Amino acid sequence: MCFEMQFPNLEDRLRFLKGSIDQVEEQIRIRQVRQAEFEDALDTRSCEMGSSLYALDLEMPEGTTKRRLIYEQELGLIEKERRQLRITYGQDMFTLQKELRHLRGEYRTLMAGMACFKQKN
């Protein structure tokens, strides 16, 4: 069923679009908050590993230890997770912003058509 058949009344279509715009904007806000929380958690883990590695270097400045390798591997995993998180977040935000632009464009077009119709009548 096409969009016009679902909403034969222009005001209903505008209300639907406005609700959809609000919903996408809320999804964007939620994802931004989650992204910041994930980044903070990764920063905390990274700092903890870096501090542990620094403390280990103070204890045993020479040679490579098994603990040192474990800390370095953990730091590498944290950075890998951070990169993957940023890629996923970027793709997600791109999709949401694209949808938002489309909805806003359709909303503006309908508003302009409605204003033109009202001027004629």
CATH number at residue 107: 1.20.120
Give the span between the Cα atoms of 12 and 4, in whole angstroms: 10
17 assigned to some structural domain = no
**Euclidean distance between CA atoms 71 and 76, whole angstroms:** 9
Rounded CA gap, 94 and 24, in Å? Answer: 12
Rounded to a whole number, what is the distance in angstroms from the first to the last CA of the chain? 30
What six digits make up the tokens of 8? 């034969």
Range of the domain at 34: 22-120
Q: In total, how many domains does the chain have?
A: 1
Please report whether residue 56 resides in a domain.
yes
Q: Is 9 part of any domain?
A: no
Least confident range of 9-18, 28-37, 40-49, 54-63: 54-63
Those residues whose C-beta lies under 8 Å from the C-beta of residue 58, and which sit 6 or more positions away, are: none
**How far is 40 from 54, CA to CA, in rounded Å?**
21
Give per-residue pLDDT as tens, 67-117: 788 888 999 999 999 999 999 999 999 999 999 999 999 999 988 877 776
Establish if 12 belongs to a structural domain.
no
Give the pTM.
0.74
DSSP one-letter code for 59: H
